[in-house]
């Protein structure tokens, strides 16, 4: 397998959501350095010029059950959630800034917060804007914005944490899952930190956050052996400054972008690059790292990554598919719906997506999706060229002999051909 | 405390990462082969664990229908008394539970009242972790069945969970139970099916993940011809369940289908001693009455159907079903005719070897603890009884030196 094709495919599938028709072949011509640069260069085109922002408003408190207003409320709530999901999926497909979408997606899985508990779309939408704004900037700023995020506070019961009854939920996850990694702190640190994080109150319907001083514990705490008085923000800063944070965030980048099964090497370039806590430096170091060409580091496309990549190649727009309910249902069957991670640990990776059940649901999903595309790329290619050219179309480094044989057998039938390609191990796995 | 178990729960739900054990996804072919080559010995007891995710409201399941406090606490979310199904002078089953009522009348249902654990935790995740690890206090990373699995001879067929994700209940320290995706019953047919089989044939050149991808697809088609007829009958479609507002704490939505598969595999002599199935959606923070009736109707009719299916096999006396949820709900309704997270609730133990009736005290509505029901029975009493009485195993490896028992099993 040609190393250049592998690395180019990875640049598209891991730091974006796969190539649009023609992009992969053009990138091969342009060469690896140019493709890396292209992946890392942000377009100035505003997102709203390709996908209009969803109308997400404050729905106010849920009306009483059986009241005349409850149906309108429930309909509006569901509509807002779906609009928001489709808005993001559309952006993943259409945005000129794939890296921003991919990094927002990465951080959504990192600070995993679910609409299932938050209930209202507005706080989730505001959280997404925050993730989007800081996704490639200073991690300290991102972490501070997140500790003040209404949806995250609700999700981890921050708003119920008071000086009388500190709740350790947010404190523990802030260290374990968000900044330091597991076992890089003590139980004492968790308890003390919970005291610092008291006093938050959140207006559920809007996600607006305030700190109520009468509910807040302002006494000094002893964290990592030092006694001091901290605010939630100075606490966050203290965590992000720790050496363990410099190790942990590159670990997460490694796990989500390079390999979920192989161990991160001690000299992984992103670690050094993250010394300034600049996320873009860490991402850039990863993109430019030799690990990108190492055949050992394969990944499985998560359901959203697989679906969005298919949409880009098939030139279809998620919100225009028949129907939106069916789309969300397919994603749900596969276990990955935006704004609805299964728990605060985020979605699984790797072989977690390769059960027999997901194989089955993936086929059903592709069966529904493929007929909704004109499949113009395939139809415009002569039958005898279809197998060969489809590798470039989909951004696959090389079809295996087995897949090649099946594609050849189906080359006269564009729909069946595409179905087989999308469900092949060669496409499901990013090699 | 809350967080410690939550963290552990998360570790458990990410399975292989935490325990160093990969979740074994088994195929119908594996079970079929095992059923043929080493069928479960006759008269071997089987435990079927039904997890209701989301926190089932016990008060609207086993209803204190003569207690005026019940009606005044939740005026917008009770049922007409005429529709309830009385099972004694004070308690009635939810109107939707006619199948369960029939089994109760046959003395096959033990209802253990007020079950919970000390210092109840109202978080779905950490409370469910406590129930599944069987450990309210300790920071365990294994399930109570998982620790039992550790004591048994290694066998991927020993404990099977329906669905593609393994519940923490089945995670052991040395080994874990297996997960069986039920979608495997619906196999693509015709030309597409044939082509998909070709595209998933093994290849020596496959990378590790490509091989795993091909295997996952291939397993769909690898149902043994010997047992296929048993499994082939169309599974019932999952009924449309109400969409329930609030935190979804896991679970599947097709209990009838899961139990249908379990019944067929029990009939096929699968060498499996513990099965796990689940139903999600019990997080009824709003408009609870209809939603919960729909869910409990599914539980009741699925279990009734399951017990009926077993009648035509030689195993009907061997199977004991346990039904539980991570917590009950508050006594007073909230502002949305729903209930918030509470404490204790009833457990159901069902089977021909069960002595039907009530066990444990009914928590009083007059003496609440911060608005919540008291815990009158520790869940470990129930687990210990099942370990000894059904699995014929010592309690100690799973629950340590736990002395409580509930005598709901007939003595042989």
Alpha helix positions (H), A148-186: 150-155, 168-173
Domain annotation covers residue B117: yes
pLDDT tens-digit profile of B246-305?
333 456 668 988 898 899 889 888 889 999 999 988 877 767 899 899 999 999 999 999
Residue predicted with more confidence, A335 or A366: A366
- In this prediction, does ipTM exceed 0.85? yes
CB atoms within 10 A of CB B106: 11
Q: Hey, are the CB atoms on A360 and B337 less than 8 Å from each other?
A: no
Domain annotation covers residue B411: no
Confidence grade of residue B180 (pLDDT, cut at 50, 70, 90) = confident
For the segment A190-203, the average pLDDT, to the nearest whole number, is: 93
Q: Is A189's Cβ below 8 Å from some Cβ in B?
A: no
Report the first-to-last Cα separation within chain B, whole angstroms.
Answer: 41
- pLDDT of B195 > 90? The answer is yes
pLDDT tens-digit profile of A3-17?
999 999 999 999 999
The closest alpha carbon to B325, from B74, B122, B68, belongs to: B122
Which chain B residues are within 8 Å of A361, Cβ to Cβ?
A: 183
Domain annotation covers residue B132: yes
pLDDT tens-digit profile of A384-427?
999 999 999 999 999 999 999 999 999 999 999 999 999 999 99
Q: Rounded CA gap, A324 and A304, in Å?
A: 15
Q: Hey, are the CB atoms on A169 and B201 less than 8 Å from each other?
A: no
- How much is the pLDDT for A161? 83
- How much is the pLDDT for A261? 85
Q: A337, A360, A401, A429: which to substitute to probe chain B, counting the most B Cβ within 10 Å?
A: A360
- pLDDT of B330 > 80? The answer is yes
The region of weakest confidence among A400-409, B16-25, B208-217 is B16-25
**Gap from A74 CA to chain B (nearest CA, Å):** 9
- How much is the pLDDT for A356? 65
- Percentage of residues in chain A having pLDDT higher than 70: 99
Domain annotation covers residue B130: yes
For the segment A165-176, the average pLDDT, to the nearest whole number, is: 83
The closest alpha carbon to B151, from B388, B325, B394, belongs to: B394
- How much is the pLDDT for B165? 66
Q: Rounded CA gap, A429 and A8, in Å?
A: 15
Q: What are phi and psi of B50, to 5 degrees?
A: -110, 115
Q: B123, B162, B164, B222: which to substitute to probe chain A, counting the most A Cβ within 10 Å?
A: B164
Domain annotation covers residue B359: yes
Residue predicted with more confidence, B185 or A350: A350
Strand B62-64, strand B91-93: pairing:
antiparallel
Residue B353, domain extent:
23-185+245-399
The region of weakest confidence among A66-80, A352-366, B40-54 is A352-366
CB atoms within 10 A of CB A32: 17
- How much is the pLDDT for A117? 82
Mean pLDDT, all residues of chain B: 83
Number of domains in chain B: 1
**In the 8-state DSSP scheme, what is residue A49?**
G
Q: Rounded CA gap, B322 and A72, in Å?
A: 40
Q: Hey, are the CB atoms on A360 and B182 less than 8 Å from each other?
A: no
- pLDDT of B15 > 60? The answer is no
Its pTM stands at 0.71
pLDDT tens-digit profile of A75-111?
999 999 999 999 999 999 999 999 999 999 999 999 9
CATH code of B258's domain: 3.40.720
Residue predicted with more confidence, B119 or B62: B62
- How much is the pLDDT for B224? 36
Domain annotation covers residue B258: yes
Contact of A278 with A382, CB cutoff 8 Å = no
pLDDT tens-digit profile of A105-151?
999 999 999 998 899 999 999 999 999 999 999 999 999 999 999 99
**Gap from A65 CA to chain B (nearest CA, Å):** 5
Structure tokens at B131: 């129930």
């Amino acid at each position: 397998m040609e190393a250049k094709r592998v690395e180019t495919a990875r640049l598209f599938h891991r730091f974006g959501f796969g190539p649009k028709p023609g992009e992969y072949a053009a990138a091969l011509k342009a060469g690896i350095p140019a493709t890396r640069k292209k992946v890392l260069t942000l377009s100035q085109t505003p997102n709203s010029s390709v996908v209009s922002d969803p109308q997400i408003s404050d729905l106010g408190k849920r009306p009483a059950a059986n009241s005349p207003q409850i149906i309108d409320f429930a309909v509006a709530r569901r509509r807002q959630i779906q609009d928001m999901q489709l808005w993001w999926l559309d952006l993943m497909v259409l945005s000129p800034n794939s890296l921003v979408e991919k990094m927002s997606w990465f951080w959504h899985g990192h600070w995993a917060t679910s609409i299932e508990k938050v209930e209202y779309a507005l706080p989730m939408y505001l959280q997404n804007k925050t993730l989007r704004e800081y996704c490639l900037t200073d991690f300290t700023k991102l972490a501070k914005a997140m500790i003040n995020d209404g949806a995250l506070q609700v999700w981890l019961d921050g708003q119920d944490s008071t000086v009388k009854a500190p709740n350790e939920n947010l404190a523990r996850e802030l260290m374990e899952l968000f900044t330091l990694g597991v076992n890089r702190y003590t139980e004492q640190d968790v308890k003390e930190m919970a005291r610092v994080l008291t006093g938050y109150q959140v207006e559920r319907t809007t996600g607006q956050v305030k700190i109520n001083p009468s509910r807040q514990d302002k006494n000094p705490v002893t964290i990592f052996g030092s006694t001091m008085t901290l605010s939630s923000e100075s606490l966050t800063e203290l965590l992000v400054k720790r050496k363990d944070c410099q190790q942990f965030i590159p670990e997460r980048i490694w796990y989500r972008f390079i390999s979920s099964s192989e161990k991160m090497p001690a000299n992984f370039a992103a670690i050094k690059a993250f010394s300034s806590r600049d996320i873009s430096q860490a991402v850039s170091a990863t993109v430019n790292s030799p690990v990108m060409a190492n055949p050992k580091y394969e990944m499985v496309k998560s359901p959203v990554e697989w679906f969005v990549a298919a949409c880009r190649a098939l030139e279809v727009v998620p919100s225009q598919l028949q129907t939106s309910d069916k789309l969300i249902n397919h994603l749900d069957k596969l276990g990955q719906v935006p704004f609805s991670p299964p728990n605060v640990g985020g979605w699984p990776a790797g072989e977690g997506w390769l059960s027999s059940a997901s194989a089955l649901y993936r086929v059903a999903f592709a069966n529904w999706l493929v007929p909704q595309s004109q499949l113009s790329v395939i139809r415009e290619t002569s039958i005898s060229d279809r197998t060969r050219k489809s590798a470039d179309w989909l951004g696959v480094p090389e079809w295996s002999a087995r897949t090649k044989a099946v594609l050849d057998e189906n080359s006269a039938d564009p729909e069946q051909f595409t179905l087989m390609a999308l469900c092949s191990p060669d496409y499901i796995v990013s090699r | 405390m809350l967080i410690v178990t939550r963290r552990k729960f998360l570790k458990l739900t990410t399975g292989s990462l935490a325990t160093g054990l990969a979740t074994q996804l088994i195929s119908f072919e594996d079970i079929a082969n095992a059923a043929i080559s080493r069928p479960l010995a006759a008269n071997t007891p089987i435990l079927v664990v039904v997890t209701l995710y989301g926190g089932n409201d016990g008060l609207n399941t086993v209803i204190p229908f003569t207690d005026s406090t019940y009606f005044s606490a939740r005026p917008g979310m009770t049922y007409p008394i005429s529709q309830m199904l009385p099972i004694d002078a004070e308690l009635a089953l939810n109107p939707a539970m006619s199948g369960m009522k029939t089994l109760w009348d046959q003395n096959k249902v033990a209802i253990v009242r007020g079950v919970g654990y000390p210092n109840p935790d109202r978080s779905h995740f950490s409370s469910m972790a406590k129930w599944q690890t069987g450990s309210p206090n300790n920071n365990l990373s294994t399930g109570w069945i998982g620790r039992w699995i550790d004591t048994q001879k290694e066998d991927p067929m020993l404990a099977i969970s329906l669905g593609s994700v393994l519940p923490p209940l089945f995670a052991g320290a040395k080994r874990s139970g297996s997960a069986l995706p039920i979608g495997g019953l619906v196999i693509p047919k015709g030309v597409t099916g044939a082509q998909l089989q070709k595209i998933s044939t093994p290849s020596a050149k496959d990378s590790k993940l490509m091989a795993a991808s091909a295997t996952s697809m291939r397993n769909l088609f690898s149902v043994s011809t010997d047992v296929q007829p048993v499994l082939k009958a169309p599974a019932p479609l999952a009924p449309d369940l109400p969409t329930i507002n609030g935190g979804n704490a896991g679970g599947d939505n097709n209990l009838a289908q899961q139990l249908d598969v379990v019944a067929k595999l029990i009939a096929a002599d699968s060498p499996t001693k513990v099965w796990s199935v689940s139903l999600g959606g019990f997080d009824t923070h709003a408009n609870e009455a209809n939603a919960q009736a729909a869910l409990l109707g599914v539980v009741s009719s699925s279990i009734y159907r399951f017990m009926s299916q077993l009648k035509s096999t030689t195993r009907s006396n061997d199977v004991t079903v346990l039904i539980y949820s991570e917590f009950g709900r508050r006594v007073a309704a909230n502002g949305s005719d729903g209930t918030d997270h509470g404490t204790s609730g009833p457990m159901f133990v069902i089977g021909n070897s069960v002595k039907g009736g009530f066990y444990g005290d009914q928590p009083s509505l007059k003496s609440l603890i911060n608005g919540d029901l008291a815990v009158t029975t520790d869940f470990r009493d129930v687990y210990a009884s099942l370990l000894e009485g059904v699995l014929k195993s010592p309690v100690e490896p799973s629950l340590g030196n736990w002395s409580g028992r509930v005598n709901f099993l007939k003595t042989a």
